Structure 1
Amino acid sequence: MMNIKKCILPVCLMILSIGITACKKNNGFNTVISGDTTKPLPVSNIKVDNFNGGANITYDLPNSPNLLYVLAKYKINDNTSRETKSSYYTDTVVVDGFAKEKAYEVTLYAVTRANVMSDPVTITVNPKTPVYSAVRPTLVLSADFSGVNVTGLNPLKKEIGIIMLSFNKNTGAMEIEDQYFTKSDKIDYSIRGFKSEERRFGVYVTDKWGNISDTLQKSLTPLFEEAMDKSKFNALNLNNDTPTDFGWAVPYLWDNKLDGNGWHTKFGEPLPFTCSFGIGKTYKLSRFVLYQRIGSGYTYNYGNPKEFSLWGTNSSSPQDIKLPVRAPEGTVIGNWVNLGNFVFPDPPSGNRPGATTSADEDFVKKGVSFKVPFQAPSVKYLRIAVATTWGNVAAAHLMEITPFGVAQ
């Protein structure tokens, strides 16, 4: 267990830096802007509304024209003390980050513009189960292609960290492999890059205050997967697929080149923008990596796909049918089945399309991986169907696709 605890240092350092930044935001409260050193009366008529991991504390402010803020001092665990301030414009202070569902003491002070504190008023809060602690029992570890997958539930949609570990033979310890932070209500995350041999994996949950759950550990054997042999791919050229233009054609999607030409549809064609191709033989797909068109303002812009679906068939005679713009996963139309619906992740910078940063460029240059649902059937032909693009233009374009899976 000691080795696992040592692994949390990067997380704790990150949390410490966040705490320091948060403290700086409150520096204005500490400025002495009055020579009136009269001691204020304490807050009164205090009420507590507990929630998961914290509490809202309401009160009546003292009748003091010199009042600046209310200060709450408390411990969130045995070692960590926190302070929260609320200006005199409000009657509520929020205390949060508590490690457990139990009683905690909170001490309140009224503070003047001369930084004079009132007598303390100590109350008890009883926070409900902290979110990180509530999420932990829902986690399930299972083998995935080239790694492991963790699923779980976060119904309150609060930010948590999912910390993935694996046993390192060289150090003889469980060490951090990845850190994933999310507010999503459903957790479905995989780490990859492992051989198909038994290994000890682990996962725990943390939050922005540095609280840490116990660690779920399990010995698992990652499923085998391989990158498909692109030399065996071939364009299908269905009449219902979107015509291409500008010398960009479907076969450029698997030429292993991220510059030059890719796939580009003709402008003004109806949705969805589609292309179809064979992958040489039947595969059970595990995932695929897409590469956007980048540079010259194209990153997260123009015809780069935003919402799209992947369809497949294992028939030796794929039907030439028009696909719908959207359909539920598993929908069968002719002999084509919807293998999954996907949304390209937002730019890491959070900037709007056309204003992306070098970090956004670096993110898409590496390719973005999309997991194919495990229940999807094996196929030997694929169709990409683009529903929306980042630039909301009447065409779509991509540079490369790299599918992974297991040959059947």
Structure 2
Amino acid sequence: MKKIYIIISLFICLFIGCKEDNLHIPYGYNDGTAPGKVEILSYIPQAGGAEINFKSPDDEDLMYIVAKYTLASGKEMESRVSAYSNKLKVEGFGDTEEKTITFYAVDRMENVGESVTCKIVPLTPSYIEAYNTLEMNETFGGIAITMKNPSASDLTVEVITPDSLNQWSTAQTQYTAAKQISVTIRGYEHKERVFGVIVKDRWDNRTDTAFTTVVPWEEYELDKSKFQEVRLDNDIAMNAWGHWMGKMWNGSHNYGDEWDMAHSPDFASFPVWFTFDLGVTTELSRYMYWQRLGDNYLYQHGNMKEWEIWGRADKPDQSGSWDGWTLLTKCESYKPSGLPAGQFSTEDKEYATAGEEFMFPTDIPPVRYIRFKALNTFAGARFIHIMEVSFFGKPVENK
């Protein structure tokens, strides 16, 4: 009983004698003296902001430098750098009007020095730069939108069009940091339609809406149930590892379903090719291509980097001779990030999952038979695999 009493007594003493530490209060001696002023030296204007050069006050306990400013939306912004830095970046401005930036120094005990202000004039923000290069043109089934984004800034492109109730509705929103922005909206009838485009940045600065009226070109997705493999004498088989060519048009192209594909055996060198029948002679407008979609295969392994599409209307010779074949288009798989093989960004993954679109020139002849000619792969592999293809156009016969 005596031992228990001693333990309880010690606990009470510790409880009374100790107080909770506030980890948010600076630890150490506070001299109560605020640091000196920040001296602004110069600035380099940037798109929607600036890099400001300054000289810190000569205080031994200086901790960091703070810059505060307000965006046009009313949002208060703060940028800070350590005492060892002599430059600081401010960003998020939506125009090129003169801006006021407030600087002050803070020491280790959170004493705040006297503030100073400087004026800057930002360069044209990236979202406006992109908007100024905006092009909108009719295309098969909809509208094609392109812009340049040389600084690879994070932008949002919103496309609107009237819905069935004639109310403005968002047709598509695309988030991108690509230097060459391309947005295509499809699925509309061959009749006059109005589209609007708005460009925004990550601070929610936004442009006015640019409107255009187009008449989408007529096209149809070809019926994949009519597609058939055509095995010519010098073609490479697409049936390795238990796969077969028909998997290229079975409608499966979900990320992670990387085993649902057509796969060639190993070969000695490029180029290699294979052939199939669309089942109907068609004036082709475009096609969609899905590479093998999986973390271990995206933009690597046997995914093609460059290839050609050839076509013809009449049945090809069984020998595989190239006589009578027409080059329809040359293709290169696009990787938005530009990262080396084995690395990819979220945008790379989203872009590949959506499928890559390739347009055919408008002056190509109607064709029925298609020949893929693979020229190389991303990682140099000497085998190829394809997950899915879809072809679009206007059939000129029905069989």
| TM-score interval, smaller chain | 0.7 to 0.9
Cα distance in structure 2, aligned partners of 1:355 and 1:81: 34
| 1:121/1:318 CA distance change after superposition, 3 Å | farther
For 2:287, the equivalent position in structure 1 comes to 288
1:300 aligns with 2:288: no
> Which of 91, 97, 101 is the equivalent residue of 1:96?
91
* Structure 2: segments with no counterpart, 5+ residues: 1-23
SS of the equivalent of 2:147 reads: strand
| 1:403/1:385 CA distance change after superposition, 3 Å | same
Q: What are the residue-to-residue correspondences of 1:83-232 with 2, within 5 Å?
A: 83-170=78-165, 172-232=166-226
For 1:26, the equivalent position in structure 2 comes to none
Equivalences, count: 362
SS of the equivalent of 2:132 reads: helix
* Structure 1: segments with no counterpart, 5+ residues: 1-29, 323-332
| 1:109/1:289 CA distance change after superposition, 3 Å | same
Q: Deviations over 1:25-80 (max 9, x none)?
A: xxxxx873453431111111421111221111101111011111111111221522
1:63 aligns with 2:43: no
Q: Deviations over 1:84-125 (max 9, x none)?
A: 111112100101111111101111111112222111111100
| 1:33/1:337 CA distance change after superposition, 3 Å | farther
1:342 aligns with 2:341: no
1:313 aligns with 2:311: yes
Cα distance in structure 2, aligned partners of 1:355 and 1:128: 31
Q: Which has the larger radius of gyration?
A: 2
Cα distance in structure 2, aligned partners of 1:111 and 1:223: 63
| 1:67/1:334 CA distance change after superposition, 3 Å | farther
SS of the equivalent of 1:32 reads: coil
Q: Give the deviation of 1:196 after TM superposition.
A: 3.0
| 1:67/1:222 CA distance change after superposition, 3 Å | same
Say whether the 8 Å CA contact 1:53–1:97 is kept in structure 2.
yes
Overall identity of the aligned pairs, in %: 25
Say whether the 8 Å CA contact 2:156–2:173 is kept in structure 1.
yes
SS of the equivalent of 1:138 reads: coil
Q: Give the deviation of 1:315 after TM superposition.
A: 5.0
**Matched letter for residue 105 of structure 1:** T
Q: Give the deviation of 1:204 after TM superposition.
A: 1.2
> Which of 377, 382, 394 is the equivalent residue of 2:364?
377
Say whether the 8 Å CA contact 1:165–1:174 is kept in structure 2.
yes
Q: Deviations over 1:108-153 (max 9, x none)?
A: 1111122221111111000111111122121122222222110122
For 1:272, the equivalent position in structure 2 comes to 271
Q: Deviations over 1:212-269 (max 9, x none)?
A: 0111112223222212123443434333422444454434533557788753222234
Say whether the 8 Å CA contact 1:54–1:95 is kept in structure 2.
yes
Q: Deviations over 1:318-366 (max 9, x none)?
A: 58468xxxxxxxxxx974315131316579xx99859999x96x997x7
| 1:68/1:374 CA distance change after superposition, 3 Å | farther
For 1:407, the equivalent position in structure 2 comes to 395
SS of the equivalent of 1:133 reads: helix
Say whether the 8 Å CA contact 2:159–2:197 is kept in structure 1.
yes
| 1:43/1:230 CA distance change after superposition, 3 Å | same
For 2:384, the equivalent position in structure 1 comes to 396
Q: Normalising to structure 1: TM-score of the pair?
A: 0.76
Say whether the 8 Å CA contact 2:92–2:203 is kept in structure 1.
yes
Q: Give the deviation of 1:391 after TM superposition.
A: 6.7
**Matched letter for residue 199 of structure 1:** R
Say whether the 8 Å CA contact 2:143–2:216 is kept in structure 1.
yes
Cα distance in structure 1, aligned partners of 2:66 and 2:173: 34
| 1:138/1:313 CA distance change after superposition, 3 Å | same
Cα distance in structure 1, aligned partners of 2:69 and 2:260: 61
Cα distance in structure 1, aligned partners of 2:261 and 2:50: 55
Q: Give the deviation of 1:166 after TM superposition.
A: 1.3
Cα distance in structure 1, aligned partners of 2:121 and 2:25: 33
TM-align CA RMSD: 3.5
Cα distance in structure 1, aligned partners of 2:160 and 2:309: 34
SS of the equivalent of 1:40 reads: coil
**Matched letter for residue 191 of structure 1:** I
